Structure 1
Amino acid sequence: MTEQTHHEVAALLDRSHRLGADPRNTNYAGGNASAKGEATDPVTGEPVELMWVKGSGGDLGTLTEAGLAVLRLDRLRALTGVYPGVEREDEMVAAFDYCAHGKGGAAPSIDTAMHGLVEAAHVDHLHPDSGIALACAADGERLTAECFGDRVAWVPWRRPGFQLGLDIAAIKRANPGAIGVILGGHGITAWGDDSDTCERNALEIIRTAEAFIAERGEGRPHPFGAEVAALAPLPEAERHARAAALLPVVRGLASTDRPQVGHYTDSDAVLDFLARAEHPRLAALGTSCPDHFLRTKVRPLVLDTAPDAPLEEAVERLGELHAAYREDYRAYYERHAEPDSSPAMRGADPAIVLVPGVGMFSFGADKQTARVAGEFYVNAINVMRGAETISAYAPIPESEKFRIEYWALEEAKLQRRPKPKALASRVALVTGGGSGIGRAVALRLAAEGACVVVADRDAGAAAKVAAEIGGDDAAVAVTVDVTDAGQIAEAVRAAVLAFGGVDLVVNNAGLSISKPLLETTEADWDVQHGVMARGSFLVAREAARVLVAQGMGGDIVYISSKNGVFAGPNNVAYGAAKADQAHQVRLLAAELGGHGVRVNGINPDGVVRGSGIFSGGWGAKRAAVYGVPEEELGAFYAQRTLLKREVLPDHVANAVYALTCGELSHTTGLHIPVDAGVAAAFLR
């Protein structure tokens, strides 16, 4: 906040942060809050009434002043005089631009009218599970009266917009003692003459609804029905192993229309829901709150095989259910789409896949979107539990869901999103990612939109790079010795459970021992071949299992070396291991091409600065071979190149990006030199 922040704005932001920090109050990026107050018009010098309201797409928990829309209240309320009626209410959103004060701040959301037309200084519109449970109960209006008396009124379902704002304003005038309303099928709205009162009223509605549901549930059968023994959760280790086996397959299916990142959830709420007899019926009813189904689609895909059924049976059934889901979704679209006005169907794949005994897979264009979709479905489970406890779950009609999902205003919001980065929705696994070339590659791939699994034998180094990239939605660290097949399998499984699969593998882990032939021991030979030749093979083999299961193509990139084709002195073990890697590229390109997997290599040379290999003793030994001080080795290598330029880790990372960004989509089996020009290493 700036020093000039209006006191009402400061109070609004503080309240928003408190409300948004507690998931019982509202979901991520859901709901909005507002404040009204008087300020000085800089043009006239006269006082003017303003409203500050959370803008479109913001999140209450992290809201800043820049995320507020700022409107003149007199002009906003004057729109009631030109309102053309509910059939044309979408036109009113564009009219909000003419109510802006100054530059107007963030884009006003569809709920702006609700805040502006209600006669209260502060207004909160939230999506608490308890409130939505009442809103989605079959007899929600009666139950609202039982729960709150005349302190909270009922508003029948209406799509968010100008008319809903008029409805709430009228109900508030007709119920002067009310502190808020339950919005049928949707959520709650509360108000107050000051920020503290508004927040207190919102929390009273939420907590009172929670207590009401809890009291009604005492001594009654479970709202989701009896436990079904055949659907009981698998033990944790088996559950995670099953999830790791199924997720790549499911991700591939969920990416039929466009690539998706996955998220896995096996919370108690999810596992309990899926272990109960009523879960198929309730899941088929779909979600209700607009914020929920815009993220989760109208309903999930539910696997109906036993948790411990043979994997092949589950995979086959998933394929059948996915085909049926797509047919059903297309039929849903065709039932409700207006031939000349509805946006084109965006995609028929599920966003939520429920697997009894295992958990929930959720999908989105990036990890955060996938994770939030899963969180929203957990909200929906909580809503179903509450509604079934006090009555019966009765979400809004399918036709109303379609009106929101394919709303022109929602389509316009989607079109305003920035263009995805080149590697968006791709999951990269980088070995030796804790330093040097691996670190540079990991950082570059993440900067281009990829989710990155930083794999390194040094757990601390891997964690440091992952933290440098960002939070768990961007990168995770795994500890792995690439000579150990079991550790590699665990690393790939961690990637699958974190992001849904793997698309891009960078075989970078390496080391070097510089010795003449007669001084090279069998142990020297074995350790270098174990890490680079055998290790690359093991990583490629384990990753290929996932790449093939996904059916989405992918990339494997080997960081080989100029020494794989150039016969330099005193490095027989290193050069031979690198030559092994180089031929693996050709062999795997030939074998995996039928699966759409491209395999390419990069041959760096003289990457001294930032290199883990050179700093670990290799640099000193190579400097001794060439008779130069170690600190001048990089400059020495540069001078022997055609371009006279030193090669840095970032230059290798650039080559990895070039191979994987989509511009070289028809290239496989290639080795790219990144050596500033070493004629003796030219490929022939």
Structure 2
Amino acid sequence: MSDTDLPEGVRELLARSHRYGSDPTVTNYGGGNTSVKVTVPSPATGKDVELVYVKGSGGDLGTLRAEGLAVLQREPFLALDDVYRGVEHEDEMVGLFPHAAFGTGGATPSIDTPMHGLVDCPHVDHLHPDSVTALACAADGPALVQELWGGAVAWVPWKRPGWELGRQVSQLAQDPTVIGAVLGGHGLTSWGATSAEAQERALRIIDEAAEFLARRSVPEPFGAVVADRVALPEAQRRARAAELFPSLRRVASASSRQVGHFTDSDVVLDFLSREKLAELVALGTSCPDHFLRTKIRPMVLDVPVDAPLADVDARLAELLAEYQAEYSAYYSRHATPGSPAMRGSAPAIVLVPGVGMFSFGADHQTARVAGEYYVNAINVMRGAEGVSSYAPISEAEKFAVEYWQLEEDKLKRRPKPKALSGRVALVTGGASGIGLATARLLHEHGADVVIADLDLAKSQEVATELGGPDRAVAVRMDVSDPAAVAAAVQEAVLRLGGLDIVVNNAGFVKPGSLEDTTLGDWDAQFAVMTRGSFVVTQAAARVLRGQGLGGDVVNICSKNAVFAGPNNLAYSSAKAAQAHMVRLLATELGEDGIRVNGINPDGVVRGSGIFAGGWGASRAKTYGVEEEDLGKYYAQRTVLKEEVLPEHVAGAVLALTNGTLAVTTGLLIPVDSGVAAAFLR
């Protein structure tokens, strides 16, 4: 169904949701939910039926579409109250929601559905705005809410989302003088007769809470600045962050592989510099959406900002052991025989005073969102400390939400990760030909990709095509320049949170015989293909080794590495050196679990920047064929008589990196349709 076919109220709901989701101080990615009640003719009976459209489980308000809405018939949904057996059994109500579905029911209803379906008001919004959540997490929350709104906005003590909370909000909404409720330890729910009224009320409550906090707050809610925690200047800060990232990713991946995200916003740097840092970090986050993403508290790296990496690694080992022991004890204190298994005891957030925040998740988007949630938590703590004191919900209640069976069920509904999910791939020469095909295929199989190329504009086009900042980033890289490579690797690590796969594909050719090849031609080709592969691998290996997660290096070599083709002395020699480098690096990096392999393509004409740059014409002249027939000519001299395409080479890269050849290293794979003279011996 197109948006134009939707009932007007649903179109208004989507527009309102997008407005809320566009502002992270109103609600986070994936947080909050909105709803509308509309009356439509039933296709089965022709009689009017009242429906509830509500954001489904796992959806995001900012990007919500019609297919992300659960659709329920309100009358049978209200009738479920007749079989409700009390708060001890409220989780079983979720299993009954499908019995009220309209048609296919749309998306899976979330646990917050009763807070929408039971309320009589046509439009209901549940949000997690920083300003209101600060009041919800303040020790004096009830009194502050009464002082600010005088009863027009009610206070609801902490209660897990579910049928009981829906009942309570429904009762409040029956009072025409009450326009919303602050949910203790949680957030805001408000309502309105029209979409415009619901939005106006929600945003007014949020703004009034923010103005109240600003007016009543003490000058320094987080205490004084601690001199040795002041942020480094930006260039030093980012260089230090890139230096620390591999070690921090190793720690965060102690339970399962994680990808990172770096945040050094003013909000974060100020929090890290304050004297209350340790005290507030220990209290953890409060809003359920926060600690589900961030775990109950971050880890703080408490070493001097300029400490040697050896000292950092030693301290991280101690901190990880402490964190894991503490988290395991937390799990043991509250787990029951029916609790889901512990999901891992490594931190999701690592705070480094003077540098910034490192957040981690199964992919870069998840890592970024975790960081955004902790920024919200900082804002909530500042607001609460400014007017009262920060008082999150109890540890037992946090555990009850974190290991809620309903949350476990939501996790199980997620799609199975792709083979390369959680891996970051750097592809040189990634804006065209083999590099472009490789970047696309690795991305298709779940990798986040760094498109490295001399042509930054083309790299940016590719990165945009592949989904933008959370999935692909563009960097300008001259592989022959160690400084440029180091800067590009640093940028890649800072922007995508790690490095797992390196594809050395950058290359060019200037053909010539011994007589025709100048020293400049020779040096230039060795500089890009041989020296370039060395320089890129050397810079990347520091990251790969520091992470302790293994990795893959793949050199795109050439059939010419083993075949003496005519008039191609410098290129073929450079490729031969690049190919032998595979064997040498495989033996050296193997002890770190880093596999190094190579691919020997031949005759990849279509889409090739090298062939389009003049080599195609030269080769065609050498072989006495028209340039447009060069690919066919190459195919006819092979065993299989098939033209080799960039996608064929990309497929070989995928096989080497996706676990299919997990114990293969030092291998050179021909992708040449079978050039007998180039068979490896």
Aligning the two structures, in what range does the TM-score lie when normalised by the shorter sequence? over 0.9
Paired with 2:48 and 2:622, the residues of 1 have a C-alpha distance of: 80
Question: 1:134-153 to 2 correspondence within 5 Å?
Answer: 134-153=135-154
Residue 626 of structure 1: CA displacement? 1.0
Query: Counterpart of 2:236 in structure 1: which amino acid?
Result: E
| 2:186 is equivalent to residue 189 of structure 1 | no
CA contact (8 A) 2:251 2:320 kept: yes
Partner of 1:166: 167
Partner of 1:313: 311
CA contact (8 A) 1:292 1:376 kept: yes
CA contact (8 A) 2:3 2:11 kept: no
| 2:329 is equivalent to residue 357 of structure 1 | no
Partner of 1:213: 213
Partner of 1:20: 21
Offset from partner CA, 1:260-290 (integer Å, 9 cap, x none): 1110000000000000000111011110111
CA contact (8 A) 2:172 2:178 kept: no
Paired with 1:402 and 1:455, the residues of 2 have a C-alpha distance of: 43
Partner of 1:651: 648
CA contact (8 A) 1:56 1:108 kept: yes
Paired with 2:115 and 2:219, the residues of 1 have a C-alpha distance of: 39
Partner of 1:67: 68
CA contact (8 A) 2:18 2:62 kept: yes
Paired with 1:554 and 1:77, the residues of 2 have a C-alpha distance of: 54
Partner of 1:93: 94
CA contact (8 A) 1:246 1:315 kept: no
CA contact (8 A) 2:364 2:497 kept: no
Paired with 2:421 and 2:450, the residues of 1 have a C-alpha distance of: 14
Question: 1:251-290 to 2 correspondence within 5 Å?
Answer: 251-290=249-288
**Secondary structure of the equivalent of 1:153?**
strand
| 2:550 is equivalent to residue 534 of structure 1 | no
Q: Provide the TM-score with structure 1 as the length reference.
A: 0.98
Residue 460 of structure 1: CA displacement? 1.5
2:392 to 392, 395, 404: 395
Query: Counterpart of 1:205 in structure 2: which amino acid?
Result: I
Residue 628 of structure 1: CA displacement? 1.1
1:228 to 226, 229, 241: 226
**Secondary structure of the equivalent of 2:4?**
coil
Distance 1:224-1:4 versus aligned 2 partners, 3 A rule: same
| 2:568 is equivalent to residue 578 of structure 1 | no
**Secondary structure of the equivalent of 1:557?**
strand
Query: Counterpart of 2:503 in structure 1: which amino acid?
Result: V
Offset from partner CA, 1:339-362 (integer Å, 9 cap, x none): 2x0011111111100000000000
Paired with 2:556 and 2:545, the residues of 1 have a C-alpha distance of: 22
Paired with 1:627 and 1:6, the residues of 2 have a C-alpha distance of: 67
Count, aligned residues: 680
Offset from partner CA, 1:306-353 (integer Å, 9 cap, x none): 2223332222212211121111111111111102x0011111111100
Partner of 2:483: 486
Question: 1:598-637 to 2 correspondence within 5 Å?
Answer: 598-637=595-634
**Secondary structure of the equivalent of 1:181?**
strand
Residue 110 of structure 1: CA displacement? 0.4
Residue 305 of structure 1: CA displacement? 1.3
Partner of 1:198: 198
Paired with 2:353 and 2:109, the residues of 1 have a C-alpha distance of: 41
**Secondary structure of the equivalent of 1:3?**
helix
CA contact (8 A) 2:232 2:354 kept: yes
**Secondary structure of the equivalent of 2:600?**
strand
Question: 1:490-501 to 2 correspondence within 5 Å?
Answer: 490-501=487-498
| Deviates further, 299-308 or 238-247 | 299-308
| 2:502 is equivalent to residue 505 of structure 1 | yes
Residue 23 of structure 1: CA displacement? 2.0
Query: Counterpart of 1:647 in structure 2: which amino acid?
Result: V
Question: 1:510-525 to 2 correspondence within 5 Å?
Answer: 510-525=507-522
Paired with 1:349 and 1:604, the residues of 2 have a C-alpha distance of: 42
CA contact (8 A) 2:26 2:127 kept: yes
Offset from partner CA, 1:501-529 (integer Å, 9 cap, x none): 21000010111111111111111111111
**Secondary structure of the equivalent of 2:417?**
coil
**Secondary structure of the equivalent of 1:125?**
strand
Paired with 2:238 and 2:310, the residues of 1 have a C-alpha distance of: 17
Paired with 1:583 and 1:110, the residues of 2 have a C-alpha distance of: 58
2:584 to 584, 587, 590: 587
Paired with 2:48 and 2:530, the residues of 1 have a C-alpha distance of: 75
Offset from partner CA, 1:491-550 (integer Å, 9 cap, x none): 111111012221000010111111111111111111111111111111111111111100
CA contact (8 A) 1:503 1:554 kept: yes
Paired with 1:50 and 1:619, the residues of 2 have a C-alpha distance of: 64
Please provide the CA RMSD for this pair.
Answer: 1.0
Query: Counterpart of 2:19 in structure 1: which amino acid?
Result: R
Offset from partner CA, 1:416-440 (integer Å, 9 cap, x none): 1011111100010111111111111
Paired with 1:614 and 1:588, the residues of 2 have a C-alpha distance of: 29
Paired with 1:505 and 1:135, the residues of 2 have a C-alpha distance of: 47
Residue 575 of structure 1: CA displacement? 1.0
Paired with 2:496 and 2:544, the residues of 1 have a C-alpha distance of: 13
| 2:651 is equivalent to residue 673 of structure 1 | no
Paired with 2:606 and 2:134, the residues of 1 have a C-alpha distance of: 60
CA contact (8 A) 2:250 2:546 kept: yes
Offset from partner CA, 1:168-189 (integer Å, 9 cap, x none): 122334x441101000000010
Any unmatched runs of 5+ in structure 2?
none
| 2:564 is equivalent to residue 562 of structure 1 | no
Paired with 1:632 and 1:503, the residues of 2 have a C-alpha distance of: 38
Residue 248 of structure 1: CA displacement? 0.9
Paired with 2:11 and 2:633, the residues of 1 have a C-alpha distance of: 60
Query: Counterpart of 1:56 in structure 2: which amino acid?
Result: S
Partner of 2:422: 425
**Secondary structure of the equivalent of 2:197?**
helix
1:382 to 379, 384, 397: 379
Partner of 2:54: 53
**Secondary structure of the equivalent of 2:515?**
helix
Paired with 1:419 and 1:238, the residues of 2 have a C-alpha distance of: 39
Offset from partner CA, 1:137-176 (integer Å, 9 cap, x none): 0010111101111111100000001111112122334x44
Paired with 2:413 and 2:289, the residues of 1 have a C-alpha distance of: 18
Offset from partner CA, 1:90-118 (integer Å, 9 cap, x none): 10001110001111111111011011112
CA contact (8 A) 1:71 1:99 kept: yes
Paired with 1:588 and 1:534, the residues of 2 have a C-alpha distance of: 14
Paired with 2:59 and 2:300, the residues of 1 have a C-alpha distance of: 31
2:342 to 338, 342, 345: 345
**Secondary structure of the equivalent of 2:503?**
strand
Query: Counterpart of 2:51 in structure 1: which amino acid?
Result: L
Query: Counterpart of 1:216 in structure 2: which amino acid?
Result: R
Q: Provide the TM-score with structure 2 as the length reference.
A: 0.99
Partner of 1:117: 118
**Secondary structure of the equivalent of 1:89?**
helix
Between the aligned residues of both structures, percent identity stands at 63
Query: Counterpart of 1:397 in structure 2: which amino acid?
Result: S
Residue 39 of structure 1: CA displacement? 1.4
Paired with 2:441 and 2:282, the residues of 1 have a C-alpha distance of: 42
Residue 37 of structure 1: CA displacement? 2.2
